[in-house]
């Protein structure tokens, strides 16, 4: 009997949530609903990294049951993760355990060939996991912004959505120096890298700087982005 591919979404720590007496672990409802709409089964996984340390192998042992990974948006990575000791005043919601887990799951997925889609913070995590760095605070942040993104020919992203896409963005940081093996495949008008590919990846991989979940109910291109992940994760299901 066939089943929907299981897509792991690392949860986000939250200091408060209605009806809970403790700190919460959350996933954006819109993101889970997008995975469902695209044909996958979203599963929130606990970003477990006691002492802010966990190995990719340990993450892989926990997630051997999943068919793909969606690395979501969230707060900022600690600048120390990419070799910058001083944090800009606008850096927010840094959590060392979250950083450690996200970096490890990115490294595991890339090394194992597990299909991986990374969005917003997730794209930045992948870039840092592969030795790249970030612009800590853009001169003109892309917050509450929907803009056209031009996509390079011959890329997995263009194959999914066509030549351009209306991207709903909410970020104040962006990829600066690219990580090892990563290639920028889409840009906004101000030069911001809006999508990444890894031609030598062991498995299917795509990263986008925007939030497909924001507009998927009215823009089929956003569903198509996640459908590409689901298709890759369906191969062995």
Q: What pLDDT does 228 receive?
A: 98
Instruction: Estimate to the nearest angstrom the gap between the alpha carbon of 217 and the chain centroid.
Output: 20
- Residue 84 contacts residue 34 (beta carbons within 8 Å): no
Tell me the pLDDT of the chain averaged across its residues: 96
> Could you tell me if residue 59 is inside a domain?
yes
Q: Is residue 81 part of a domain?
A: yes
Which long-range contacts does 52-55 make (Cβ < 8 Å, 24+ apart)? 52/96, 52/97, 52/99, 52/100, 53/100, 54/100, 54/101, 54/104, 55/104
**Which CB contacts under 8 angstroms, 24+ apart, belong to 138-143?**
138/171, 138/172, 138/173, 138/174, 138/192, 140/190, 141/171, 141/172, 142/169, 142/170, 142/171, 142/172, 142/174, 142/188, 142/192, 142/209, 143/169, 143/170, 143/171, 143/172
Burial environment of residue 66 by CB neighbours within 10 A (0 to 12, 13 to 18, 19 or more): buried
Q: How confident is the model at residue 21 (pLDDT cuts 50, 70, 90)?
A: confident
SS3 assignment, position 193: strand
Structural contact between residues 9 and 45, judged by C-beta atoms closer than 8 angstroms: yes
Q: How far apart are CA 139 and CA 192, in angstroms?
A: 11
pLDDT of residue 15: 80
pLDDT at 8: 98
pLDDT of res. 19: 76
- Identify the pLDDT of residue 233: 98
Q: What percent of the chain has pLDDT over 90?
A: 92
Give domain status of residue 52, yes or no.
yes
Task: Report the pLDDT value the prediction gives residue 20, as an integer from 0 to 100.
Answer: 78
User: What's residue 93's pLDDT?
Assistant: 95
236 has pLDDT over 70: no
Mean pLDDT value of segment 129-137:
98
Q: Per residue in 201-216, pLDDT tens?
A: 999 999 999 999 999 9
Q: Is 1 among the domain residues?
A: no
Q: How far apart are CA 167 and CA 117, in angstroms?
A: 16
Total count of domains within the chain: 1
Q: Is the pLDDT of residue 38 over 70?
A: yes
Which pLDDT does position 127 carry in this prediction? 98
The Cα 3–Cα 58 span in angstroms is 26
State the residue range of the domain holding 209: 6-233
**How much is the average pLDDT of 7-21?**
86
Domain harbouring 226, CATH code: 3.40.50.880
pLDDT level of residue 1 (50, 70, 90 thresholds): very low
The mean pLDDT value for 159-186 works out to: 96
Catalytic residues: 120, 211, 213
Q: How many CB atoms lie within 10 A of CB 43?
A: 18
The answer to whether 162 and 208 have CB atoms below 8 angstroms apart is: no
In this model, does residue 64 exceed pLDDT 90?
A: yes
């Amino acid at each position: 009997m066939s089943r929907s591919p299981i897509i792991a979404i690392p949860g986000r720590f939250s200091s408060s949530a209605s009806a809970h007496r403790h700190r919460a672990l959350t996933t954006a409802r819109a993101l889970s609903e997008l995975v469902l709409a695209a044909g996958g089964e979203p599963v929130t996984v606990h970003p477990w990294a006691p002492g802010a340390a966990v190995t990719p192998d340990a993450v892989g042992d926990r997630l051997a049951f999943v068919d793909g990974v969606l690395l979501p948006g969230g707060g900022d990575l600690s600048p120390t993760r990419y070799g910058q000791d001083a944090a800009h005043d606008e850096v927010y919601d840094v959590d060392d355990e979250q950083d450690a887990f996200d970096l490890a799951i990115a490294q595991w997925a890339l090394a194992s060939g597990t299909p991986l889609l990374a969005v917003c913070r997730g794209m930045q995590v992948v870039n840092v996991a592969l030795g790249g760095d970030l612009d800590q605070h853009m001169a003109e942040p892309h917050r509450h912004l929907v803009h056209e993104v031009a996509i390079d020919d011959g890329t997995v992203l263009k194959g999914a959505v066509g030549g351009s896409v209306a991207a709903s963005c909410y970020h104040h940081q962006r990829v600066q120096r690219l990580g090892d093996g990563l290639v920028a495949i889409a840009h906004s008008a101000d030069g911001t890298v809006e999508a990444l590919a890894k031609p030598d990846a062991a498995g299917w991989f795509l990263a986008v700087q925007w939030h497909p979940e924001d507009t998927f109910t009215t823009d089929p291109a956003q569903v198509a982005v996640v459908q590409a992940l689901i298709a890759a994760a369906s191969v062995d299901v």
